[in-house]
Amino acid sequence: MLQIIPETPAIHADAIETLFDATFGPGHFAKTAERLREYSRSLPEISRVAVLDGEVIGVCRVWPLRVGPARHRALFYGPVAVAPSHRGGRLGLTVTGEAIEAGTAAGWPAAILIGAPAYFGEIGFTVTPKHQLSFPGPQDPARVMVRDLASDASVLSGLVTAA
């Protein structure tokens, strides 16, 4: 039976890292998004894992961010990964949607995600206007998306940094 549950680092961390390596390869550490994660800690109470028969087959990790000179609080969703044997369905959207619900319930105001607009648009993410958000490294602005959680995500503007 498939379960979507909060991450428990002591139980899931190794399996999640193995899933990230299988999904993204060793080059994923070079991405700009990793600059936001390397000096931060994920929020396991908001992150979600998909577990099938005791095996982690999907994950959406979530990280705290600050945005712009006003230092607005936001959550950074990703990486989102699904085991190769379970791709092609909607598991990535399901696990991300569950993490969105957890972030909303926890009172976070907004979500940021870097990904495919056609895919993540299905769960309410929209592409930000070009140059509204900047990152600590190069980033394709066509893949930068936001979503309201408890307030208006359109107020987010400026440099995105780790919390």
The answer regarding whether domain 2-162 maps to CATH 3.40.630.30 reads: yes
Task: Tell me phi and psi for residue 150, to 5 degrees.
Answer: -115, -5
- Plot region of 25 (φ>0 → left; ψ -120 to 50 → alpha; else → beta): left
| pLDDT for position 22 | 84
Instruction: Count the neighbouring beta carbons within 10 Å of the beta carbon of residue 147.
Output: 21
pLDDT tens readout for residues 18-65: 998 888 777 655 566 777 878 789 999 999 999 999 999 999 999 999
Residues with Cβ < 8 Å from 83, sequence gap 6 or more? Answer: 19, 22, 23, 55, 56, 57, 58
What is the distance, to the nearest Å, from the Cα of residue 158 to the centroid of all Cα atoms in its chain? 19
Judged against a pLDDT cut of 80, whether residue 91 lies above it is answered with: yes
The first and second tokens of residue 33, run together, are 């998004």
Q: Where are the domains of the chain?
A: 2-162
Residues with Cβ < 8 Å from 114, sequence gap 6 or more? Answer: 32, 33, 78, 139, 143, 144, 145
CB crowding 98-125: b at 16 or more within 10 Å, else e? bbbebbbeeebbbbbbbbeeeebeebeb
Closest CA to 106 of 147, 152, 74: 74
* Contact (CB, 8 A) for 132 and 156: yes
Beta bridge partners of 41: none
pLDDT tens readout for residues 98-135: 999 999 999 999 999 999 999 999 999 999 999 999 99
